[in-house]
Amino acid sequence: MKMALHWQILLGMLAGVIFGITYVYFNFDPQFVIDWIKPIGTIFINLLKLIAIPLIIASLIKGVSDLQDFSKFSLIGGRTILIYVATTLIAVSIGLVIVNLIDPGERIAPETLAMLSEEFASDATAKIQAAENQQKRGPLSFIVDMVPDNIFGAASNNRNMLQVIFFVILFAISLLLIDPKKAAPVKDFFDGLNDVVLKMVDMIMLMAPYAVFALLASLVVETKSPDLLVALLWYGLTVVLGLFTMILFYLAVIKFYVKKSPLWFLKNISPAQLLAFSTSSSAATLPVTMERVEEHLGVEKEVSSFVLPVGATINMDGTSLYQAVAAIFITQALSFQLDFSDQLTIILTATLASIGSAAVPGAGMVMLVIVLEALNVPQETLTVGLALIFAIDRPLDMCRTVINVTGDATVAMVVGKSVDKLREPNPKNWDDHLDNVR
């Protein structure tokens, strides 16, 4: 019997970690892993990113034009954004409650503090610089940024996903409004294109177990000072506990609102979660999230083609929760007093900062600077604060990306249920696909 995909990926991840740890233990040359193993992971991530834009274009055009009428689209759109903001607020609140209960900032020894801030000061300064560049823009710039002035320019950079979505929605709505006879061949073309791109996802996924091996092995080998992770144990545990609570929240929603089995949901979305963990990027994971949600969880394309790409860019529940915990941890550890109104500021800024975070590794930490600045943390304290959490940021990034992706999938199910666009899943069967490919 063939092993299910999520087990294959999990096995690849485990083997990667064990390989990495053994390699480091015997003090072999890390350059070998970087030269010969890491590229397999990089190629895989590039392949996933490669098909993200074509997939969004094809599936969104098909999705919106299948809706037949514009009012349905605005209903789905409005609901999606509202639910996204709501889940983010819930995530930040969960983060705040847990961090205030555990108080990880009080549990860190002054020597550890000094050591960490020395070790990572320069990395922290780089993050602050990146945040400053981000901030030098006007209040409406995020809307302006959404409207591209050249579609090829927009489509040439995966970071401009919202610009592409904007163009495609405009295109698809116009398609709904023109003479159906003329619209039909255009629709058919994108319909076919959509199947082609999904087939490409299937082919790329054949590589997934090996690629996650490469990604995790090189990550372990490249990690500097792994012993420092222990120093941040309480903080790390607080974030992870918060993220875990968020998963429970999603599962409750799946059970009580969507009325599906949480285990079934987890089983079917797990390949996307495992990839999110291995790549730390919801954007790179997007093609797989879309494939899982449409074919395995049964959300109609009319919903998933909009909800998921938009979610990958703006809905980051894991990131917002982490930002809340990190902000409190840093201020506690550096004895910077916060009052109740500061906690409200965190709710607001972490929500906005997570919306503004790019769906790539490490983005959440850059935007954390903005949360800290909103709390009026002085510049020197800020550098020390970021240096403090740097050592453990990558593993936490991996975990929060899992939540970001799970959140998007959950909201796709919720919106699908609310507009009656859930059907019996029809895995155009994963295994059939693979058999065709082989």
Contacts with ligand ASP, residue ranges (CB under 6 A): 280-282, 316, 319, 357, 359-364, 397, 400-401, 404
CB of 340 to ligand ASP, least distance (A): 26
The string of DSSP letters for 258-313 reads: I-S-HHHHHHHHHHHHHHHHHH--HHHHHHHHHHIIIIIS-B-HHHHHHHHHHHHH
Residues 6+ apart with CB under 8 A from 129: none
Least distance from C-beta 129 to ligand ASP, angstroms?
A: 17
What is the distance between the alpha carbons of residues 151 and 240, in angstroms, rounded to a whole number? 40
How near is the Cβ of 261 to ligand ASP at its closest, in Å? 26
| Minimum distance, C-beta of residue 364 to ligand ASP, in the bound complex (Å) | 3
Q: Give the torsion sign (CA, 36, 42, 48, 52).
A: negative
Torsion angle of the four alpha carbons 154, 156, 158, 162, in this order, in degrees rounded to the nearest 10: 10
Residue 403 CB partners (closer than 8 Å, separation 6+): 91, 243, 246, 247, 317, 318, 321
Q: Which is nearer to ligand ASP, 80 or 354 (CB)?
A: 354
CA distance 142 to 159: 13
23 or 277: whose CB is closer to ligand ASP? 277
Report the residue number whose CB is nearest to ligand ASP. Answer: 364
Closest CA to 359 of 397, 390, 304: 397
Nearer to ligand ASP, 304 or 357 (CB): 357
Residue 161 CB, shortest distance to ligand ASP, in Å, is 12
Q: Given the complex with ligand ASP, which of 67 and 358 has the nearer CB atom?
A: 358
Query: DSSP readout, 143-166?
Result: HHHHS-S-HHHHHT-GGGHHHHHH
To ligand ASP, the closest distance from the beta carbon of 135 in angstroms equals 17
Burial of 139 (0-12, 13-18, 19+ CB in 10 A): exposed
User: CA-to-CA distance for 386 and 23, rounded, in angstroms?
Assistant: 30
Task: Return the number of the residue (108 or 314) whose C-beta is nearest ligand ASP.
Answer: 314
- C-beta of 98 vs 316, nearer to ligand ASP: 316
Minimal distance in Å, beta carbon 289 to ligand ASP? Answer: 11
User: 8 or 401: whose CB is closer to ligand ASP?
Assistant: 401
